[in-house]
Amino acid sequence: MDRNILVVDDERDIAELVAYNLVREGYQVTKAYDGHRALQYIRENRPDLVILDLMLPGISGFEICRQIRKNPETEGLPIIMLTAKADSVDKIMGLEIGADDYLTKPFNVRELVARVRAVLRRWEKVPASGGRENICFQGLAIDFRTYEVTVEGKKVNLGPTELKLLRFLISNPGRVYSRTQLLDHVWGDDNFVEPRTVDVHVSRLRAEIEKDKDNPCYILTVRGIGYKFADLQQA
């Protein structure tokens, strides 16, 4: 499988438990027990996915997530937050600052492994682009060869879930998708994702690509149904 996963948790018994089960599934695993070491490893080695606790000595998981997302070299790194913070506000905040998934302690190890597979699969799968190498629409451009997204010529930082969501919607312009349909197409067979998660990722995507996220021109809301990308034929 040759996927290198970084497990960041100051509770060593939890880090060992997670690492043991991931290794059994064929992943390579590195462990870090504080925020500074985690960031150093990410900068020097670029893992394929990070499992990140929030309450860490030195640098919090929230801050690590922010730094990963604002660095062009790591902005697309998949992140799963694993934390004792079970409050819905913390979960939404974690998703909004860039996490791709969020699991609370105590957790089921098999569920965590399934989420790891789902997030990696989500990142690897690419929706069809109709054979086109790039799409441009009112200043927004996606290069399907490099998966680079720019707005008015400026590169924007998108996490893997937002990138896949945008690729899917822009590849199907003008067509309305419900939250459930987007879960099926973008998240696939990840049974742990709630429909509310779609709204959070749409909001994050709009914050990056829209000039005014409250009055979007790319990702449009169809009240009572779901979302669509603006019709390219009417541009």
For residue 10, tell me if it sits in a domain: yes
How many Cα neighbours within 13 Å face the side chain of 146? 7
> What distances in angstroms separate CA 163 from CA 6, 29, 171, one per listed residue?
22, 25, 12
Element spanning 97, H or E: none
Residue 234 has pLDDT above 70, yes or no: no
Q: Is 220 helix (H, G, I), strand (E, B) or coil?
A: strand
Provide the residue range defining the domain that includes 61.
4-124
Same domain, 120 and 175: no
CATH, residue 78:
3.40.50.2300
Residues 71 and 162 occupy one common structural domain: no
Using the predicted structure, report yes or no on whether residue 102 has a pLDDT greater than 70.
Answer: yes
Q: What is the pLDDT of residue 189?
A: 61
Whether residue 145 sits in one domain with residue 118 = no
Distance between CA atoms of 166 and 5, rounded to whole angstroms? 25
> Under 8 Å CB-to-CB from 144, ≥6 apart: which residues?
126, 129, 132, 133, 134, 135, 167
High-pLDDT (> 90) share of the chain, %: 36
What's the pLDDT tens digit per position in 126-179?
444 444 567 888 889 888 777 788 998 898 888 878 888 898 888 888 888 888
pLDDT band at 119 (very low <50, low <70, confident <90, very high): confident
Number of domains in the chain: 2
When computed from its CA atoms, the radius of gyration of the chain, rounded to whole angstroms, is 18
Q: Give a yes or no: residue 129 inside a domain.
A: no
The model's pLDDT over 198-220, given as tens digits with 9 standing for 90+, comes to 898 999 899 999 989 889 999 99
Same domain flag for 44 and 97: yes
Q: Please provide residue 192's backbone torsions phi and psi, each rounded to the nearest 5 degrees.
A: -95, -5
118 and 15 within one domain: yes
* Same domain for 98 and 179: no
Query: What's at 106, amino acid-wise?
Result: P
Number of C-beta neighbours around residue 149 at 10 A: 22
Residues 87 and 151 in one domain: no
Q: What CATH number does residue 190 fall under?
A: 1.10.10.10
Q: Say if residue 14 is in the same domain as residue 114.
A: yes
Show the tokens assigned to 121. 């699969």
Is 75 among the domain residues?
yes
Q: What mean pLDDT value characterizes the chain?
A: 85
Could you check whether the bond before residue 47 is cis, i.e. omega within 30 degrees of 0? no
Q: Which of 9-18, 20-29, 170-179, 220-229 has the lowest mean pLDDT?
A: 170-179
Query: Between these two residues, 1 and 150, which has the higher pLDDT value?
Result: 150
CB–CB of 53/63 below 8 Å? no
Task: Read off the pTM.
Answer: 0.63
For 110, other C-beta atoms within 10 Å of its C-beta total 9
Degrees to nearest 5, angle at CA 152 with 151 and 153: 90
Tell me, what's the pLDDT at 126?
44
